[in-house]
Structure 1
Amino acid sequence: MSSGIGANIRRERRRLGWSQARLAREVCRAAGVVGEPVGRQEVSRWETGKRTPREWLPFLAAVLVVPVEVLTTPQTAAEPPLPTLTNFLPAEDPLEQLSVRTGGRIGMGQVADMQQRVHGLRLADDVLAGGDLMRPALRELRKAVHIFREHSYSDLTGCRLLVQLAELAQIAGWVASDAGQHAEAERIYRLGLSAATQAEDRTLAGNLAGSLAYQLSNTGRELEGLELSRVALDGAGPDAPAKARALYLDRVAWAHTKAGGTENAQHAMRALGEASEALAEDSEGTEEPAYLYWVDAGELQVMESRVCTELRRPLRAVPLLREVLGKYDATHTRELALYLSWLAVAYADANEPEEAAATAERVLSLSADVASERTAQRVRVVLERLAEYADVPEVRSVLEST
């Protein structure tokens, strides 16, 4: 019976668009209790059937605005429900606060300090690779989780702390993924998704889910990546900031591209167009989250060129990539090597092996001292593609130098 109740609670909560944390607060408020004897983890236990609400049922029904019978009567769904972001939260709550917190009380000053360190990591990632940033990023993340679990703070400070923890998890997950630590990156992304969901920040949750979807699409889990990229876009909602919607649509386009097939190719190109339309809606004075500072028309061009390269459309990919690379910041070595790798492949697809070889030489030179598994993987792709032209002297010279 408990699993039936759990499914009903979950269904009605999602109908209202509430997080588990929001439902827990509303139940406590309706019951008129002091403190929070019901928390997000308890709601999770109800929904998974690990516990039965029992005395909390009348209050659950009241805040969900349904009769108690709706919660206690098993419902048979006509078809499996569409996944939502909550389906991708960790099985256990990694952010459960300790019952006795001995770390003292913190305020908004400490949260502001954390915000500065998080943004500093983002800026460092622009010029350094994952292998260089892995240790400091994980150190900051462990410290943030420790602060959240073992210190006390006001509700407002706690919410802001969750937001910063989620932002930190996004950049730490990205760093870990770039370093080739994909299992660790997935764990970190899901931790951040839990924090963003508890903070009820749908845009941030979408960014974390989209980041994980991008990794899944690039590591042989294309169908999972496609599903999660769509969930990230849907979860963020139509009112998400313009840059956020553009970024999430870009990730949908990439996921469709990696999934393969004619229909997915069509969906990919459509998503690219929608991303450009979304970004065009951005206007001066519109407040955007700080973590979207890098999303602009140039980045959308980069994704379009990559999609066109993957889809073997070099006539479109080559001019796009040349335009992007012509104005790209040379200090961003990793990105420069990555984008050049797609240009090398596009030249090969255009039956221009000499140009492909010259571009590949630049890729090899730039990536030699970059501690990035993504870059190393792209080098392997370029060399494999060039092998088809091994009889061309310029290509043979590149292949023999590796």
Structure 2
Amino acid sequence: MDEIPGWALRLRTERRERLWSQRQMARALVEAADERTRAHLATRESLTRMIKDWEKGRHQPKDPYRLLYCRVFDLSEAELFDLAGTAPRKSPAQVLAAIMPEGDLLSRLPAQTGRRIGMGTVHDLSARVHGLRLADDVIAGSDLIRPAFRELDAAVRLYRCGTHTEEAGQALLANIGELAQIVGWIASDAGQHEQAAQTYRLGISAAREAGDGPLEANLIGSLAYQTVNVGDVQEGVALARAALEAAGPDASPRLRALTWDRIAWAHARAGEAQPAMRALGEASAALDSTAGADEPSYLYWVSADELQIMEARAYTELRRPLRAVPLLSEVLTRYDATHARELALYLSWLAVALADANEPEEAARTASRMLDLSADLTSDRTTQRARVVLARLKPYADVPQVRELLTRYPMSA
């Protein structure tokens, strides 16, 4: 494959740094035009397709679009469209640096071991854990895995090399557990499943030593989710049930909802419809009781929409598309387009459900959106889901829309 020219990479990078989808980019270009120019621009749908071509370097935008790009990004034409090209202005590591708190945690340590680690350092580490979670929203696994493991290594060295009070030590262990959960997730997204499993186990050990049952439950649930997807499904079911036990009867509502959600998914992957449906009911009931609850900050993303998506995924896995399609179609109309990986993954489930519902034309349209959205993501999850989607569409290869899609994406199939 020919290398994408520098100007095309800059167009894509500038857009993604603003957390815009290609559709949002089209809107920004239109809004930057004066009334006379706007009347002659392509339709929003056509402009979105043009942006996809530009970002792949197939051809450069011509005026007035070049001018509008410069206006939106506040860059000169020479900076943006220089054919000599340069690398994108910010790499994933630079994006991460912009999101994470300033400084290197290790650089603040004394050169010798045995020095006391205070709560100020613990709070710094907590901020970095939060920053890494924010980074994972916009950077895919293969781009994030190296800095993520550096953060985890720094946290472990803080605990092992320093001295601290019992309170600070427990807080450090809890932070290591939280870091291990998100780093394990990132490693899994990069396709490093054994590395992810080992990282989850490190986190489980840290959470257990810290006496943090909810965090231990979250880590066991994360390991269960990966095991169900890429390992022994029945082992994954057992791990998901173990997470519920670790959470205990006093677990917060969001944690109960997440734990039951993972149990539901495990049973759906095992083809066990009734246990899956019961677990989904438990998850929904738990989330309904969140009002006024004190929740761990790492559960911020557990919402009614996420549970609805999991319910739809379970129905899709159980080959009940007539239940899955309405649920996914509704929630995806309001899903945050800046979270490109998750949006692509959820579109993949909708495409499969539509194919199962004998709607190949609509399935192909949805799959095309999913594949375009994930084209520049370094995520093993989206790569594997693309293969699943295209394989499910192959029986409809005589349908023109499907045939065109399979022609455009032969390698993914």
- Please say if residues 348 and 356 of structure 1, whose CA atoms lie closer than 8 Å, have aligned partners that are also in contact: yes
Question: Secondary structure at the residue paired with 1:385?
Answer: helix
Aligned partner letter, 2:234? L
Name 2:278's counterpart in structure 1. 270
Name 1:58's counterpart in structure 2. none
Find the aligned partners of 2:114 and 2:369 in 1 and give their Cα distance: 51
Which residues of 2 match residues 335-350 of structure 1 at below 5 A?
335-350=342-357
Question: Secondary structure at the residue paired with 1:327?
Answer: coil
Name 2:360's counterpart in structure 1. 353
Q: Residue 173 in 1 paired to residue 181 in 2?
A: no
Q: Residue 390 in 1 paired to residue 397 in 2?
A: yes
Name 2:270's counterpart in structure 1. 259
Find the aligned partners of 1:102 and 1:120 in 2 and give their Cα distance: 27
How many Å apart are 1:126 and its aligned residue?
A: 1.3
Name 1:299's counterpart in structure 2. 306
Find the aligned partners of 2:261 and 2:385 in 1 and give their Cα distance: 20
Name 1:319's counterpart in structure 2. 326
- Please say if residues 103 and 147 of structure 1, whose CA atoms lie closer than 8 Å, have aligned partners that are also in contact: no
Aligned partner letter, 2:281? G
Select 1:290's aligned residue among 288, 297, 307: 297
Aligned partner letter, 2:392? R
Find the aligned partners of 1:204 and 1:251 in 2 and give their Cα distance: 15
Name 1:157's counterpart in structure 2. 168
Name 1:42's counterpart in structure 2. none
Deviation by residue 1:297-347 (Cα, 9 ceiling, x = unmatched):
111001001001111111110010011100001100001100000000010
Which residues of 2 match residues 105-254 of structure 1 at below 5 A?
105-254=116-265
Select 1:330's aligned residue among 329, 337, 347: 337
- Please say if residues 357 and 386 of structure 1, whose CA atoms lie closer than 8 Å, have aligned partners that are also in contact: yes
Find the aligned partners of 1:103 and 1:170 in 2 and give their Cα distance: 27
Find the aligned partners of 1:113 and 1:171 in 2 and give their Cα distance: 17
Name 1:371's counterpart in structure 2. 378
How many Å apart are 1:363 and its aligned residue?
A: 1.0
Name 1:39's counterpart in structure 2. none
Give 5+ residue unaligned stretches, structure 1: 1-100
Deviation by residue 1:245-266 (Cα, 9 ceiling, x = unmatched):
0000000000111112xxx211
Give 5+ residue unaligned stretches, structure 2: 1-111
How many Å apart are 1:103 and its aligned residue?
A: 4.3
Find the aligned partners of 1:310 and 1:104 in 2 and give their Cα distance: 53
Instruction: Tell me the number of residue pairs that the alignment of Structure 1 and Structure 2 aligns.
Output: 298
How many Å apart are 1:123 and its aligned residue?
A: 1.0
CA RMSD of aligned residues (A): 0.8
Deviation by residue 1:76-135 (Cα, 9 ceiling, x = unmatched):
xxxxxxxxxxxxxxxxxxxxxxxxx82411100000000000001111111211111101
Find the aligned partners of 1:244 and 1:238 in 2 and give their Cα distance: 11
How many Å apart are 1:238 and its aligned residue?
A: 1.2
Name 2:86's counterpart in structure 1. none
Deviation by residue 1:147-180 (Cα, 9 ceiling, x = unmatched):
1111100001000110001000000000000110
Find the aligned partners of 1:103 and 1:267 in 2 and give their Cα distance: 51
Find the aligned partners of 2:251 and 2:188 in 1 and give their Cα distance: 26
Aligned partner letter, 1:288? E
Find the aligned partners of 2:152 and 2:232 in 1 and give their Cα distance: 26
Q: Residue 279 in 1 paired to residue 287 in 2?
A: yes
TM-score where L is the length of structure 2: 0.71
Find the aligned partners of 1:124 and 1:303 in 2 and give their Cα distance: 23
Q: Give the stretch that moved more between structures: 372-381 or 102-111.
A: 102-111
Question: Secondary structure at the residue paired with 2:191?
Answer: coil
Aligned partner letter, 1:271? A
Find the aligned partners of 2:228 and 2:378 in 1 and give their Cα distance: 21
Deviation by residue 1:170-200 (Cα, 9 ceiling, x = unmatched):
0000000011000000000000000000011
Find the aligned partners of 2:169 and 2:238 in 1 and give their Cα distance: 31
Aligned partner letter, 1:307? A
Find the aligned partners of 1:127 and 1:396 in 2 and give their Cα distance: 32
Find the aligned partners of 2:177 and 2:254 in 1 and give their Cα distance: 18
Find the aligned partners of 1:269 and 1:128 in 2 and give their Cα distance: 33
Find the aligned partners of 2:366 and 2:114 in 1 and give their Cα distance: 54
How many Å apart are 1:220 and its aligned residue?
A: 3.0
* Percent pairwise identity: 64
List, as ranges, runs of 4+ consecutive aligned residues in structure 1 with deviation greater than 3 Å. none
